[in-house]
């Protein structure tokens, strides 16, 4: 049997292949007497937390443990990929604990957007997924926007209890924790410690709070529904907004279709001429066509005119599945998780969505 090298910091088995995965250390470090995984190395030398993804088993163990604690849970989601970045089953795992839901990356939203509407939408969507958060807040972890407000709210809501920050990979959880350390931590060397989470091989980052309690950064998990798993890194760059998105308005007649690259299709199937505002990465090409031609266009041009996906990733892309919406309200948002959303500026219309 192959002998395993273990990280002196957290005890995880060292591997040298996958940089984003638990236990990674550069191959050159294996020659040393003691080996430290990259995550522990960065924590020790740069006071910086790095997110690693866990195996489903370890992650489930951590989540299961949460219900047995008396703590405040802070759940971070990516507002551009709400469903994709949801942790399925989270409402069961948290037990009786209260959950503060935090939507990250608001810096990407157009300034004109009503943030209260977004918060209400998040509240409702969470409820549909079985979770009733005690509060919903928005932030930009990267720009530091809203972070002080959230820290204040965390301190109020925790009522002297520990805090666990959870979220799947890529929602910006590490950026958030690092921003908190920057904002509130004086001497970070003293500030961050790690503590062992029962039942897992992994230590958690633990930031002491002033009453002897701690804020724990739990490792993220890859959610296999995330768009990131269907397309490659470069394509992901295209669909991930990098700066404030510019809404695009389309006046459509009944029977017209919009393609969001080849990753989403939006059909206006019934109603008077209506304007639709699309919120997505400025780099995604939105292609307008006639509904009767849409099928053929998709079959023939997926991967080139309708891109991303590319020629290669299109092969593994799951088929677009149709959802029909009957819209009665004046202004409704239809969300393509991972891509963005469309605001329908009209009422009594019928649309079809194929994410």
Considering only residues 101, 171, 239, 252, which one is a binding residue for ligand GDP as defined by CB under 6 A? Answer: 171
Query: Order of strands, edge to edge, in the sheet holding 323-327?
Result: 286-290, 256-260, 264-270, 349-354, 323-327
Q: How far is the CB of 120 from ligand GDP (least distance, A)?
A: 21
Using the minimum distance from each CB to ligand GDP, give the nearer residue, 146 or 310.
146
Nearest to 337 by CA among 233, 253, 226: 226
Question: 140 or 200, CB closer to ligand GDP?
Answer: 140
Q: Which DSSP string do the residues of 263-277 spell out, in sequence order?
A: TEEEEEEESSSEEEE
Quote the Cα angle for 322-327-330, to 5°: 145
The window from 56-64, 109-117, 162-170, 259-267 that contacts ligand GDP (CB under 6 A) reads: 162-170
Closest CB 54 distance from ligand GDP, rounded Å: 11
Taking the least distance from each CB to ligand GDP, the nearer of 167 and 338 is 167
Nearer to ligand GDP, 77 or 353 (CB): 77
The residue (of 20 and 296) whose beta carbon lies closer to ligand GDP is: 20
In the complex with ligand GDP, the residue whose CB is nearer, 146 or 309, is 146
User: x/- string (CB under 6 A) for ligand GDP, residues 79-108?
Assistant: -------------------------xx-xx
Min dist. Cβ of residue 316 to ligand GDP (A):
23
The one segment of 90-98, 135-143, 148-156, 224-232 that binds ligand GDP by CB under 6 A: 135-143
Considering only residues 170, 200, 281, 313, which one is a binding residue for ligand GDP as defined by CB under 6 A?
170
Q: What phi and psi values does residue 329 have, to the nearest 5 degrees?
A: -70, 165
Is 142 a binder of ligand GDP (CB under 6 A)? yes
Q: Respond yes or no on whether the N-terminal peptide bond of residue 309 is cis (omega within 30° of 0).
A: yes
Q: Residue 104 belongs to what H/E stretch?
A: strand 99-104
Which residues, 6 or more positions from 81, have their beta carbon under 8 angstroms from its beta carbon? 171, 226, 227, 337, 338
Q: In angstroms, what is the minimal distance from the CB of 148 to ligand GDP?
A: 14
Binding of ligand GDP by 125 (CB under 6 A): no
Tokens of 9: 């910091």
233 or 328: whose CB is closer to ligand GDP?
233
| Of residues 221 and 297, the one with the C-beta less far from ligand GDP | 221
Tell the burial category of 169 from Cβ atoms under 10 Å away from its Cβ (0-12, 13-18, 19+). Answer: buried
CA distance 23 to 25: 6
Cβ 311 to ligand GDP shortest distance, Å = 26
Residue among 5, 1, 11, 332 at smallest CA distance from 194? 11
Query: Which positions from 210 through 269 interact with ligand GDP, judged by CB under 6 A?
Result: 220
Q: Compute how many residues bind ligand GDP; rule: CB under 6 A.
A: 17
51 binds ligand GDP (CB under 6 A): yes
Q: From residue 159, how far is each of 70, 98, 125, 213, 261 by CA, in Å?
A: 10, 11, 27, 11, 47
**Under the criterion CB under 6 A, does residue 141 sit at the interface with ligand GDP?**
yes
172 binds ligand GDP (CB under 6 A): yes
52 lines the binding site for ligand GDP (CB under 6 A): no
Rounded distance between C-alpha atoms, residue 44 and residue 245, angstroms:
37
Q: What radius of gyration do the chain's Cα atoms show?
A: 22
* 3 state SS of 258: strand
- Three-state DSSP at 15 gives strand
174 sits near ligand GDP (criterion: CB under 6 A): yes
Positions that interact with ligand GDP (CB under 6 A): 51, 104-105, 107-108, 140-142, 167, 169-175, 220
């Amino acid at each position: 049997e192959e002998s395993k090298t273990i990280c002196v910091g957290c005890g995880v088995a060292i591997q040298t292949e996958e940089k984003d995965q638990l236990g990674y250390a550069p191959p050159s470090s294996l020659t040393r007497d003691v080996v430290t995984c990259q995550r522990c190395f960065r924590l020790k030398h740069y006071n910086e937390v790095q997110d690693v993804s866990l195996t489903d088993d370890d992650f489930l163990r951590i989540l299961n443990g949460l219900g047995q604690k008396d703590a405040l849970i802070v759940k971070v989601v990516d507002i551009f990929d709400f469903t994709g970045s949801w942790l399925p089953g989270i409402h069961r795992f948290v037990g009786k604990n209260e959950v503060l839901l935090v939507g990250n990356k608001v810096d990407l939203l157009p300034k004109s957007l009503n943030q209260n509407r977004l918060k209400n939408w998040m509240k409702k969507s969470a409820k549909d997924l079985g979770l009733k958060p005690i509060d919903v807040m928005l932030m930009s972890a990267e720009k530091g926007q809203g972070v002080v407000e959230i820290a204040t709210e965390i301190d109020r809501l925790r009522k002297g209890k520990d805090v666990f920050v959870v979220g799947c990979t890529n929602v910006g959880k590490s950026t958030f924790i690092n921003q908190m350390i920057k904002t509130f931590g004086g001497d970070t060397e003293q500030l961050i410690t790690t503590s062992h989470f029962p039942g897992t091989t992994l230590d958690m980052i633990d930031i002491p709070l002033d009453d002897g309690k701690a804020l724990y950064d739990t490792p993220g998990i890859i959610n296999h529904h995330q768009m990131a798993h269907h397309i490659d890194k470069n394509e992901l760059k295209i669909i991930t907004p990098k700066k404030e998105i510019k809404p695009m308005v389309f006046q459509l007649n009944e029977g017209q279709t919009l393609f969001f690259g080849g990753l989403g299709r939006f059909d206006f199937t019934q109603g008077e001429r209506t304007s639709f505002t699309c919120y997505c990465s400025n780099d995604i090409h939105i292609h307008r066509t006639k509904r009767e031609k849409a099928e053929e266009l998709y079959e023939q041009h997926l991967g080139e005119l309708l891109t991303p996906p590319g020629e290669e990733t299109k092969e593994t892309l799951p088929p677009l599945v149709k959802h029909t919406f009957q819209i009665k309200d004046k202004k409704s948002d239809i969300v393509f998780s991972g891509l963005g959303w469309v605001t329908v500026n009209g009422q009594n219309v019928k649309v079809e969505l194929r994410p």
